[in-house]
């Protein structure tokens, strides 16, 4: 790969036998989109993309079109998707897969692609279906990559006019690209992973004309707020500045491989969760948690209570009922919220009118109303170590989903994320959830105090409350 631009960048910025990998935070959706787009343009040999969701929307179609253009110039492209959200977008994936240099595979699918038959199959294969590939990775030429919390779609890239997600990714260059590729291959080669061509109906099979239309969409006038680099030269110039700003650090990558037995009970924490527990047990003064979905039950709270250190502060920032994209997930959190508080955790919930939205989300149409949601997943330990990736601090991620996480031993990066979380939990951005003197929940922000879920209507609060009575938090 001597002619690979990203490999040359690795050799330029890291010593040949350096144990360090170099990192940069991608804190806005626009930034994350532009870097992915530039990496596709700069690729010389291979692109491997692994995602839980790839939407058939403007940004999803743009990146698909650019992958086809890369394949046209000889780049080998592999796209690996989880089945839970793939159905319905089969035509897009079939179009990509029809290129001789692109292969698309689907992890743990059910045969029916739509309708009642699909729902019946999901229910009939409940244990197997609940084992999902939530891992996210993007690797170019085996030398540079991205991992983190984002899926592929407008709401993850600050391009949706109404709803956008606060999220976080990491651009990386160096030795840990190897383990990131191992995560991809563990699922790519799994017996429950199938070529997309075996799943879609024959009439969905598309040809060179359909591919050409996708490429044309990606080369014409774009309706995006972001304007990606056009062509290899512009992309390389864009990326050179990004690679210059990378921070070298000692780090580890941990991923959860597919289960050996998809039908077996999922009662043991997976490697990524065990890594989180180890870091938590060694924390001395502070743990800052940023998690879109947050559910810790007695088993986890027994492990986290104090960690043998009465001085340890555990602060968690998550979605409120009105910013959570899934009321079911919020209900599981609500079921255990009081117990988390009694165990000494501090809880903060994102306000839909958070003033910080205009710094977090480039497309401000999501700000000031009901268009903001939290999707990021990061934990900071003692402002020295950053744990970041696809893992939510909830039971589904701990026991059921496949996840990929980075453990980065960098005070600079840890402090940067800690500062973001500290800003997010300020009263103008979050509700501080507490137990009052009577032991009842209250939500506070400056002079405002609520005795129920703020800004949520009666039926939404009732739905969440009723769902919270059900012991289903492991599947949320």
Q: Is 375 considered catalytic here?
A: yes
Three-class secondary structure of residue 410 per DSSP: coil
- Contacts of 124 by beta carbon, 8 Å cutoff, 6+ apart: none
Instruction: Give CA–CA dist 304/315, Å, rounded.
Output: 12
Axis-axis angle for helices 58-72, 90-97 (nearest 10):
10
Tokens of 386: 């950053």
Q: Is 377 considered catalytic here?
A: yes
Write down the catalytic residue from 382, 409, 432, 474. 382
Write down the catalytic residue from 134, 154, 169, 330. 134
Instruction: Give CA–CA dist 468/328, Å, rounded.
Output: 8
Tokens of 76: 């080998």
Tell me which residue of 57, 71, 59, 150 sits closest to 104, measured CA to CA: 71
H-run or E-run covering 126: helix 126-129
Please give the backbone phi and psi of residue 55, each rounded to the nearest 5 degrees, phi first.
Answer: -80, 145
Write down the catalytic residue from 83, 89, 375, 420. 375
289 — alpha (psi -120 to 50), left (phi > 0) or beta? beta
Write down the catalytic residue from 90, 136, 167, 169. 136
Instruction: Give CA–CA dist 128/76, Å, rounded.
Output: 31
Task: Give the other-Cβ count within 10 Å of 277's Cβ.
Answer: 15
Axis-axis angle for helices 327-342, 458-468 (nearest 10):
70
Q: Is 76 considered catalytic here?
A: no
- What distances in angstroms separate CA 421 from CA 69, 86, 332, 356, one per listed residue? 39, 32, 23, 11
Query: Cα angle vertex 169, ends 226, 228, to 5°?
Result: 20
Q: Is 382 considered catalytic here?
A: yes
Write down the catalytic residue from 82, 141, 154, 167. 141
Instruction: Give CA–CA dist 78/64, Å, rounded.
Output: 12
Instruction: Give CA–CA dist 399/272, Å, rounded.
Output: 10
On whether the CB atoms of residues 177 and 9 are closer than 8 A, the answer is no
Instruction: Give CA–CA dist 243/22, Å, rounded.
Output: 8
Write down the catalytic residue from 83, 97, 154, 377. 377
> Residues with catalytic annotation?
134, 136, 141, 375, 377, 382
């Amino acid at each position: 790969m001597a002619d690979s631009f990203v490999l040359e960048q690795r050799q330029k910025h890291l010593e040949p036998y350096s144990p360090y990998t170099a990192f940069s935070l991608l804190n806005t959706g626009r930034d994350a989109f532009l870097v992915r787009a530039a990496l596709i343009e700069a690729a010389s040999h291979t692109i491997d993309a692994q995602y839980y969701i790839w939407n058939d929307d403007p940004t999803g179609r743009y990146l698909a079109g650019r992958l086809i253009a890369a394949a046209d110039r000889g780049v080998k492209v592999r796209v690996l998707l989880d089945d839970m959200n793939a159905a319905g977008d089969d035509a897009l994936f079939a179009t990509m897969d029809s290129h001789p240099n692109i292969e698309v595979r689907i992890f743990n699918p059910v045969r029916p692609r739509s309708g009642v038959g699909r729902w019946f199959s999901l229910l009939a294969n409940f244990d197997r279906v609940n084992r999902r590939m939530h891992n996210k990775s993007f690797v170019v030429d085996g030398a540079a990559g991205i991992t983190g919390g984002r899926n592929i779609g407008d709401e993850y890239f600050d391009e949706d006019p109404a709803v956008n997600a606060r999220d976080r990714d990491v651009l990386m260059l160096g030795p840990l690209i190897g383990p990131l590729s191992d995560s991809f291959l563990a699922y790519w080669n799994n017996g429950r992973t199938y070529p997309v061509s075996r799943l879609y109906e024959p009439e969905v099979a598309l040809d060179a004309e359909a591919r050409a239309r996708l490429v044309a969409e990606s080369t014409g006038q774009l309706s995006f707020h972001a304007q990606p680099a056009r062509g290899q030269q512009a992309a390389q110039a864009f990326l050179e500045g990004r690679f210059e700003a990378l921070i070298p650090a000692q780090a580890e990558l941990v991923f959860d491989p597919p289960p050996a037995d998809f039908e077996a009970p999922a009662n043991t924490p997976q490697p990524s969760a065990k890594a989180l527990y180890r870091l938590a047990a060694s924390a001395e003064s502070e743990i800052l948690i940023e998690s879109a979905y947050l559910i810790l039950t007695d088993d986890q709270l027994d492990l986290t209570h104090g960690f043998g250190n009465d001085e340890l502060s555990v602060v968690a920032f998550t979605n409120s009922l009105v910013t959570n994209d899934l009321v079911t997930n919020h209900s599981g959190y609500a079921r255990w919220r009081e117990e988390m508080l009694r165990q000494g955790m501090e809880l903060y919930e994102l306000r839909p009118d958070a003033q910080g939205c205009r710094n977090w989300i480039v497309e401000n149409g999501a700000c000031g109303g009901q268009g903001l949601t939290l999707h990021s997943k990061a934990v900071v330990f003692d402002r020295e170590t950053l744990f970041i990736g696809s893992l939510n601090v909830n039971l589904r991620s701990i026991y059921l989903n496949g996840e990929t996480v980075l453990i980065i031993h960098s005070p600079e990066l840890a402090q940067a994320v800690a500062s973001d979380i500290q800003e997010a939990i300020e009263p103008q951005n979050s509700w501080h959830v507490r137990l009052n003197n009577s032991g009842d929940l209250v939500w506070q922000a400056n002079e405002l105090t609520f005795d129920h879920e703020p800004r949520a209507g009666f039926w939404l609060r009732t739905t969440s409350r009723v769902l919270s009575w059900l012991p289903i938090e492991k599947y949320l």
